[in-house]
């Protein structure tokens, strides 16, 4: 569920509804389109996106900036989008882009931040949770086909992005891999489309704390999205207490394992959760700025959050345009936050019974996980 077809069609209609209208009064057009300097292969090598995809992104940014009356002195929309895409794809700016924009590096990064703010503002249009029972059933059906686990409408986890915090604040950003990161909770479907992206926080924040305060969790508690599960990660036994906690809407693996059926369920859980890992890995491969977002202060994470959300929006648009993935990938490791100071949360008995019922019905026999059809 990257975004509903109706949203997609409405966005295209609004962008292209009047070919005669021009934005030249607001955004001066370049003398020559920058993309014309690239053939399709070199364009993809540089920006990790295809020409139609980049054109659509540029038009979306232009439309949004026009609607919000954003003003930029100097470069036109085509140029600032190209600068932002160059940074997202490579983590640095090429000399060619710097020459195009004709601004110093600080000014260019301010422009990139503005584009990131615009793109992150499109989250509600391009990153959507299944809106009704039929859409939720379709997502759950696809997940069940892969792993045999029923009534699950997404995979939740936290994506860690490395940063460089100030010396006095390093411990707050340190995760269990001993990296300094910011982390963002995301939910994806089994096709690798993002369905939810939350604001980022420091890398030591417990996942369960992020979930409990997230907008999607509050919506689920209010019954907005039905009674389905979200498949969530629980760290293995020797690191118990890290990751997410089994609850009314979070479905974790069984720990400790007592029965063969538990083991089969855990294997299915691990199988589908690898989709989440591949999604995060694919995102970071396409947008290499997420390898390290640079200097950060704990009390000013907004700009980092906007870059992460912008990349997630672009990821979903790229999926819609069937943009190829970037070669073979090594899966992103799952590393829970360092939450040893957080008390262990008691698992509700009704959640344990509900999970046990799934295991009993679908995983009690050795062939249960082989039959993945409804």
Facing residues of 158 across strands? 185
93 vs 160, higher pLDDT? 160
**Neighbour-count burial of 135, counting CB atoms closer than 10 A to its CB (0-12 exposed, 13-18 middle, 19+ buried):** middle
Check the CA dihedral 37-40-46-52 and report its sign.
positive
pLDDT beyond 70 at 34? yes
Percent of the chain with pLDDT over 70: 81
Report the range of poorest mean pLDDT among 71-80, 161-170, 211-220, 257-266: 71-80
Percent of the chain with pLDDT over 90: 62
Whole-prediction pTM value? 0.87
Start-to-end CA span in the chain (Å): 20
What CA–CA distance (Å, rounded) separates 23 from 25?
5
What's the pLDDT tens digit per position in 236-250?
444 444 689 999 999
To which residue do tokens 């294997």 refer? 267
Residue 28 phi, psi (nearest 5): -60, 135
What is each CA distance from 129 to 6, 60, 123, 137, 320, in whole angstroms? 14, 21, 11, 12, 16
Q: Which residues contact 288 (CB under 8 A, 6 or more apart)?
A: 88, 89, 90, 91
Average pLDDT of the residues in 342-364: 86
Q: What is the pLDDT of residue 248?
A: 92
pLDDT beyond 90 at 50? yes
Average pLDDT of the residues in 38-48: 93
Average pLDDT of the residues in 186-195: 97
CB 138 within 8 A of CB 260: no
313 confidence band (pLDDT: 50, 70, 90): very high
pLDDT beyond 70 at 9? no
DSSP 29: P
What CA–CA distance (Å, rounded) separates 282 from 23?
35
Closest residue by Cα to residue 155 from 286, 268, 283, 250: 250
pLDDT beyond 90 at 69? no
Average pLDDT of the residues in 327-353: 68
Closest residue by Cα to residue 246 from 254, 236, 238, 257: 254
DSSP 26: T
Q: What is the pLDDT of residue 338?
A: 53
Average pLDDT of the residues in 205-214: 93
Report the range of poorest mean pLDDT among 23-27, 255-259, 273-277, 347-351: 23-27
């Amino acid at each position: 569920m990257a975004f509903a077809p109706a949203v997609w069609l409405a966005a295209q209609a609004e962008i292209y509804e009047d070919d005669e209208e021009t934005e030249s009064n607001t955004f001066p057009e370049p003398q020559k389109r920058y993309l014309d300097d690239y053939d399709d292969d070199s364009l993809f090598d540089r920006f990790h996106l295809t020409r139609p995809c980049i054109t659509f992104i540029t038009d979306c940014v232009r439309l949004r900036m026009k609607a919000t009356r954003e003003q930029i002195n100097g470069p036109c929309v085509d140029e600032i989008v190209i600068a932002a895409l160059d940074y997202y794809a490579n983590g640095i700016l090429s000399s060619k882009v710097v020459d195009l924009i004709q601004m110093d590096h600080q000014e260019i990064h301010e422009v990139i931040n503005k584009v990131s703010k615009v793109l992150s503002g499109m989250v509600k249009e391009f990153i959507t949770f299944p809106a009704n029972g039929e859409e939720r059933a379709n997502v759950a059906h696809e997940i069940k086909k892969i792993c045999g686990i029923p009534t699950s409408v997404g995979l939740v986890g936290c994506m860690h992005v490395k940063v460089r915090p100030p010396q006095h604040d390093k411990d707050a950003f340190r995760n269990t891999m001993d990296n300094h990161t910011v982390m963002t909770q995301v939910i994806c479907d089994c096709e690798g489309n993002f369905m939810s992206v939350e604001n980022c926080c420091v890398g030591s924040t417990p996942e369960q704390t992020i979930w409990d305060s997230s907008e999607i969790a509050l919506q689920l508690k209010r019954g907005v999205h039905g009674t389905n599960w979200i498949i969530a990660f629980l760290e293995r036994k020797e690191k118990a207490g890290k990751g997410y906690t089994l609850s009314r809407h979070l479905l974790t693996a069984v720990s400790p394992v007592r029965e063969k059926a538990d083991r089969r369920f855990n294997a299915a859980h691990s199988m589908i959760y690898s989709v989440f890992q591949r999604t995060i890995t694919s995102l970071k491969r396409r947008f290499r700025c997420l390898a390290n977002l640079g200097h950060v202060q704990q009390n000013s994470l907004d700009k980092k959050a906007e870059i992460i959300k912008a990349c997630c929006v672009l990821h979903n648009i790229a999926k819609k345009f069937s943009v190829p993935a970037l070669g073979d990938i090594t899966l992103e490791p799952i590393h829970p936050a360092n939450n040893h100071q957080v008390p262990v949360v008691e698992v509700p008995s009704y959640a344990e019974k509900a999970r046990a019922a799934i295991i009993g019905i679908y995983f009690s026999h050795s062939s249960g996980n082989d039959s993945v059809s409804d």
